[in-house]
Each structure stands twice: as C-alpha cells, then as structure tokens.
C-alpha cells in the first residue's frame, strides 16, 4: 500500500490541579481555540471541546505521527502557559499531572460530541470525580483510586 491512512478518534479528559475552578467563562472559548491550534500544529484536529470550571473534555482526531503522551504534553504545557500569561489570579494556573485518553469508535462520534457540548448540564447533577469514575468504568479502564486525583 503506497498511502498511510489512519482514523484515530480519542476522548481526552483532564482536570485543573486539585480541581480548582480556574476555567472561567471569560477564557473558556479562547482556551478551546488555543488548544485547537496546538492540536493542529501536531497534525491533528480538535473536533469538540467542552469544559466547566475544573476540567476539560476534548474530542480529537489524533495524528498518526504523534504518540498520545506527546500530544497531551503539548496540549497541557502550551495551554497552561497561555492561561498563566493572562496574568492576575490566572498566573498560578495548573493542570493536574495525569489525564485520561480513550479511543472512540467513529460510530460514537456524534454521541461523544453531544456529551462534550453538554458538560454544564452533566455537572449540575454530578461532580468531576463521579463523572471520571464513570468514564473509567465505561472505557473498561482499571485504576487505583489512590493515584487518580491530584
């Protein structure tokens, strides 16, 4: 085969450090756009972004030439620097150390997009910790509660 093709769709989730409420309405759309630029610079595409004050969900068409850990590092490092540069109270912004990245069937793209869009609705009835535990279960990801949160 002379052409290399891939379709790698991922759901990436991570929180602010200690789940502090850093992601305010004033920066939310800009933050999502900035992350979209980071993903594009790695030859991927940000298909959907949704966040509430303490965490973010991203649906990404993952580039075939970039390891998942490298893409996540670029997203978190670059966006953290961008938020800190806003100054004021945001100068101390941090993401948590860890993350969850899950492969998603293209058949579930629309449902995932809807889920990400409706983050504010989800978090009227559940915390990030509850949601994340559900995601880990849904994606059949074993975990040790002692090491999930920071």
pLDDT in tens, 90-114: 999 999 999 999 999 999 999 999 9
User: 23-27, 38-42, 103-107, 120-124: lowest mean pLDDT where?
Assistant: 120-124
C-alpha torsion sign, points 39, 37, 53, 113: negative
C-alpha torsion sign, points 17, 18, 22, 28: positive
Residue 89: which of 146, 26, 40, 131 has the closest Cα? 26
Given this model, what pLDDT does residue 69 score? 97
Domains of the chain, residue spans: 8-147
Given this model, what pLDDT does residue 147 score? 82
Cβ contact 93:22 at 8 Å: yes
Q: Which CATH class is domain 8-147?
A: alpha beta
pLDDT band at 60 (very low <50, low <70, confident <90, very high): very high
Distance CA 19, CA 16 (A): 5
């Amino acid at each position: 085969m002379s052409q290399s093709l891939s379709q790698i769709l991922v759901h990436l989730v991570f929180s602010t450090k200690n789940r502090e409420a850093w992601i305010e309405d004033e920066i939310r759309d800009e933050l999502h756009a900035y992350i979209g630029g980071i993903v594009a610079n790695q030859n991927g595409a940000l298909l959907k972004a949704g966040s509430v004050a303490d965490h973010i969900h991203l649906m990404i068409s993952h580039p075939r030439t970039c390891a998942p850990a490298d893409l996540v590092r670029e997203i978190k490092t670059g966006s953290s620097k961008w938020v800190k540069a806003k100054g004021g109270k945001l100068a101390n912004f941090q993401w948590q150390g860890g993350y969850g990245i899950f492969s998603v069937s293209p058949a579930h793209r629309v449902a995932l997009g809807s889920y990400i869009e409706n983050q504010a609705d989800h978090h009227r009835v559940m915390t990030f910790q509850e949601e994340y535990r559900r995601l880990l279960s849904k994606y059949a990801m074993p975990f040790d509660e002692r090491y999930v949160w920071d």
